[in-house]
Structure 1
């Protein structure tokens, strides 16, 4: 295997300069990357559906990464020769954003697709920089410290929010992040049906668990590897905080995958270090168990009401447990570790010796897991964690729901198999393909989500790229000396841990997590089993300059795009502010024009523009405003054909102009895109009745039949959906409400009644009856229900008496309805 370190003592043509001769540009690149890693968690770890709030830090990240790329080119243009497999990975990584560019052809959302292209560009830059700079020992050491340092800050930040110091934590970061609202970092402790869950900067507990899993093993590795006491104490001191934080996420996925990743990582270690890893896990785990209950309880109390004594008690317990763990670990590293290495040397030299402990650990982990799940041993854990452990099974809702996501993703892929449906495909299209009315803008599987975004071609390219690096890294690892193995093993730990967890969750949707993974892939490529590529080798320096020229031009394009998008984002936010504080059409329009002159189909601004045109049209009845509003919406829907809000706005604008047929056509045609949106179908069926009734009054039988048929077809779709939901596995929740509402029953029942189907109408209307007969809608449903029964030769005395009790004239009204000839 080639030496991973370039030019530490001598300077040769095409090598990195000796450490005492490094240029200011090189230090600027390294310093810029470190600052980027510090900035990124509090900016682009954030993920939510409000893309307008998310996009500004994203575009800043793109701009920063392109500036880093220019520094990279300036520093290392002589190093890039395209002679080895590692060099050609710098070319191959360019294919990743290009596959997203290709998927633009069939993108379901132009807006989200463009954002994903830019995100892939960030990853490409990080990978390219890592491949080159991490070949230097000193720089590699700096990046190691930066990764661990910012990770420890994230853990501390999370625990500050758990143990009552949320306002202090927010003040520390509020000056450079928009995630602080009302004096606290939003959802640093999220609350769901399981109660408070720790998330730190990620705002999603499972992703924080993936991060902590990677950090736990990275910290243990760094502890064992460290030769200095300060490093040993620092890394061991953080172990209790990391494990406690992991448990406070209440992530079942994290708890299940933790032993799996642990056992795999042990396979890469010598027996002595395997034993040390297990010892440190046991010590830190024991210390964690000792303080877990009081710290969990303290956090739950502080979430309800702050108490200085409770907070202080929690911090003191955590501090004592961490100090004890650190002291024990330091003693073991100083006195036991050397003897242990010598003591098992003979055993370590035997064939397959590194397999024995991982296999034994797997058995022990299985036994401990069985005891925790099947016995009273779990009583040592807090109640919230006990409940989560008890729910670990394949018939549990989250497991069944994930399987549903994956099946639905394959249905989506079936319609976009080759190049995918573009970035953000799942978030845009899941409502069209979903099996039941769940709400999830993420497929909870990074690989499945990647597949539907870029199709089979893009997925094969990505998997080939990733697997090749891992394969060549492992091959190089096996052949390397112990020192070289340890130099970049941290990157494998981080990459493998996050990607393994991402099989069951959407961690890579957090750009910071993606940065860590591609930084890790770059670090692994640095020390992989590297061979010359003779068939692809170019002579002279022409290939180098051609490659760097292409990269430079692409970087300029990306930088220009990020600057323009930043301008657009700032203008969009300004327009939102103006719209909240001003009633002036010209002021709002002027602010929106700034944004839409840059990005003509920026969804939020485009929809707001259409809204203000509609408001002015309603006030003035000036057709010019109507036509302008329609033009804006048509432009937006062409780029975002599945954007429900824009479709609703278009329907509303058509109705404001009395173009009900156009409005209804959209409502009916687009219903297939929102199969489980009961409000969409409720509106559709109600309008089908209203317009059909109007056509009946105008004696337009053709239109009447068209509208009534559309309404009954939609009603049939709802009924079939309800029947389908009954087939869901017992442990799976259906998601959003999907039922025959009083409005649906009333409209569909009226249609059937007017179609001379009184028995069917009575059956339909009965489904909409509620107990509260004082409700006007329920009274109307009851009247039509009783009239339908009467027309079918039946009666319901109980409902009739209830209705008469609140509406004495109800009997006459029912008789009149029953005798109407439609």
Structure 2
């Protein structure tokens, strides 16, 4: 592995000299950023408006760090070797997101993702240069590990009933603490309580825990100090226990896969130690898992109990494991090194234990899935394992997401549908009426956002870094290998789990991955690139200018976006607390001035203007609202809430044909929105019936045909949902409603096709004919039957029993001609 050679800073590190002040400023800023970031909100990704403000702050801080980097490393900027070129290559990633703005489904979300990807690129560049310095590398690694351990302890404090205490500690610098409690640190859903810590999503927390479990194991085997061995050993049980408490099947499935891959990078002595520590951590955790799980469950389900007792179990077992780690490292490890020296010298010696581990994992998986061994785990965990199969809902649902994502890629193949596209566009492509703003696969979501072009850029970047890191790892001595292996563990663990979940949608995990890639690049098998070499002075000026300009642009944009988000939030608050129109409107206008099309501000201002129109009937309010919505929809063409506001406005103004047009023209974007199709069918009938009264047969036919096509879409959709695999749940309700039946049947009746009208009406025949809609369907059904020369005596008798006057109504309908 080539040694880093970045002038005075690297030289200072080797000679034990003090680091320059500029470097300390950058390093301290990065440390504070890494401590601040994870507590800002788990979903911190620009796709959920409630969480976007911390994302803008992160971009602002990252841009300021980039300016500090230019100041610290200006004299060291070159373009002479592969490591230098990787700092240029990473900039292509945000550029692909900028290109994707051309076809973005949501300009708003796509712009946010440009900011996020720029942040990642900045942190990669900063990390690439910082981590080549031995001292700064050590400081950053310690910081990342310490933050991870704090997150683990924070999660357990929440599980064991001290959530308010730890939330008060972090509450002063995060908005995620609401009413004294960190939001969703513990999920409670149909499965039961699930630990999520700062991420607010258990599966992503599982990916994080998997990464840092292996970091802790590695740290034990690397540490030369007894207190280091004991500290990392102490954290093994809390990490494994937290992993179990997430109830994440994906975490349990990917854990052994990542473990086996990591073993391939270790010598036999280290492989044995890793296996020993994993077994110790697993057995120790299982010894206390049941009481700790039950204590937390009782607390979070509102039952009487004292979950704090769980700390006794956790602390006692963790101390025992810490002591074992120290003893093993001091007594067993040296003997293993000597005893396996001959074994390690043999060819392919590092493959033996990983292959044996594959067999062991297979046997363990069989025992857990096919026997009663699963019952040694706490109830919910065992039940989750019992449900792992190819016909399980979670897996089938994910496969559906991936197939639907492939449909999007087919329509946006080259440059994608823009950042955040899945959240905006998935309803158009969905196979069944699920709700998911994430595709649950980093790969598929990335393809949706930036297409094949952007995906190939990312894959090329990752492949280059990983390949060069592995080449460098093979050539390096033990000390240099260990100096950067933590970063490889983090990148491998998070990206592997992200194949089947949306971990990379969490900005904090994205930060960890790109810093990890920077650490791997700092340790790569570096080669000069003479063919594309540029004079240092020229490169220094161009690159530093580019970084300064980009940073200043992002600082400016971030500040304005923070102001816009804050103003929109203030307007939202005033809507519920103030009755002064101008007072409420002022911050919403300010938000839209800072960032036109800000979705929250558009919707709040639209509601305000509509209220003004309702109260005063002043057309100025309606015209202003219409302009606001139509302009916003040019950039947010899939925003259903904006369409609903526009429909409501048209209906309030009595412009029902325009409201109908919005329903009709956007129906394909919401293929499984039952209410959307019901309204479209109802309005098709009402407008068509109006045209019938005006003797406008052509317009009547158009409205009726649109309504009947919408009804057929629902019928076909309901039939399709019957074909879903047995284990897959449908999702949201999607069915043929009584208003659909009544209005579609009437349209078919009035198009002089009573036979088809009978087929439609028959679907809505119910036993309860005291209900007005049910009774009306029955009346039209019997009239249509009479037109065809048929009858249904049972329905006829029940209807007349409820209301004898229906006899005349049926006759009148049957005699109508259109």
Does the alignment reach a TM-score above 0.5? yes
Give the aligned partner of residue 653 of structure 1.
649
1:205-284 superposed matches below 5 A: 205-284=202-281
Out of 798-807 and 227-236, give the one that drifted further. Answer: 798-807
1:320-399 superposed matches below 5 A: 320-399=316-395
CA distance in 2 between partners of 1:33 and 1:435 (Å): 44
The Cα of 1:87 is off from its aligned counterpart by: 0.6
The Cα of 1:50 is off from its aligned counterpart by: 7.3
Q: Pick the aligned partner of 1:36 from 26, 33, 43.
A: 33
Give the aligned partner of residue 2 of structure 1.
2
Q: Pick the aligned partner of 2:588 from 592, 602, 606.
A: 592
Are 1:469 and 2:465 an aligned pair?
yes
Give the aligned partner of residue 737 of structure 1.
733
Give the aligned partner of residue 151 of structure 1.
148
CA distance in 1 between partners of 2:310 and 2:774 (Å): 54
1:41-120 superposed matches below 5 A: 41-47=38-44, 51-120=48-117
CA distance in 1 between partners of 2:702 and 2:419 (Å): 38
Cα pair distance change 1:223/1:808, threshold 3 Å: farther
Q: How many residues align?
A: 818
Q: Deviations over 1:791-810 (max 9, x none)?
A: 33333344344444544533
CA distance in 1 between partners of 2:766 and 2:198 (Å): 46
Are 1:163 and 2:160 an aligned pair?
yes
8 Å Cα contact 1:81-1:543 kept in structure 2: yes
1:609 counterpart SS class: helix
8 Å Cα contact 2:262-2:489 kept in structure 1: yes
Out of 587-596 and 350-359, give the one that drifted further. Answer: 587-596
Q: Deviations over 1:149-181 (max 9, x none)?
A: 111111111111211122223222222222222
Cα pair distance change 1:155/1:148, threshold 3 Å: same
8 Å Cα contact 1:283-1:325 kept in structure 2: yes
The Cα of 1:360 is off from its aligned counterpart by: 0.2
1:273-672 superposed matches below 5 A: 273-305=270-302, 307=304, 310-672=306-668
Out of 144-153 and 803-812, give the one that drifted further. Answer: 803-812
The Cα of 1:437 is off from its aligned counterpart by: 1.4
The Cα of 1:312 is off from its aligned counterpart by: 3.2
TM-score scaled to structure 1, two decimals?
0.97
Q: Deviations over 1:350-373 (max 9, x none)?
A: 111110000001100100110110
Q: Pick the aligned partner of 1:814 from 807, 810, 813.
A: 810
The Cα of 1:74 is off from its aligned counterpart by: 0.4
CA distance in 2 between partners of 1:481 and 1:17 (Å): 17
The Cα of 1:314 is off from its aligned counterpart by: 1.5
CA distance in 2 between partners of 1:157 and 1:746 (Å): 56
CA distance in 2 between partners of 1:319 and 1:743 (Å): 61
Cα pair distance change 1:628/1:23, threshold 3 Å: same
1:821 counterpart SS class: coil
Are 1:20 and 2:17 an aligned pair?
yes
Q: Pick the aligned partner of 2:688 from 680, 687, 692.
A: 692
Cα pair distance change 1:90/1:816, threshold 3 Å: same
Give the aligned partner of residue 707 of structure 2.
711
Q: Deviations over 1:463-485 (max 9, x none)?
A: 10111000000000000001100
Cα pair distance change 1:25/1:44, threshold 3 Å: farther
CA distance in 2 between partners of 1:695 and 1:16 (Å): 84
CA distance in 2 between partners of 1:501 and 1:317 (Å): 30
1:115-134 superposed matches below 5 A: 115-134=112-131
8 Å Cα contact 1:33-1:68 kept in structure 2: yes
8 Å Cα contact 2:45-2:506 kept in structure 1: no
CA distance in 2 between partners of 1:593 and 1:791 (Å): 60
8 Å Cα contact 1:397-1:732 kept in structure 2: yes
8 Å Cα contact 1:752-1:761 kept in structure 2: yes
CA distance in 2 between partners of 1:778 and 1:176 (Å): 57
8 Å Cα contact 2:609-2:622 kept in structure 1: yes
Q: Deviations over 1:740-798 (max 9, x none)?
A: 01111111111112222223223212323444444333233233233333333333344
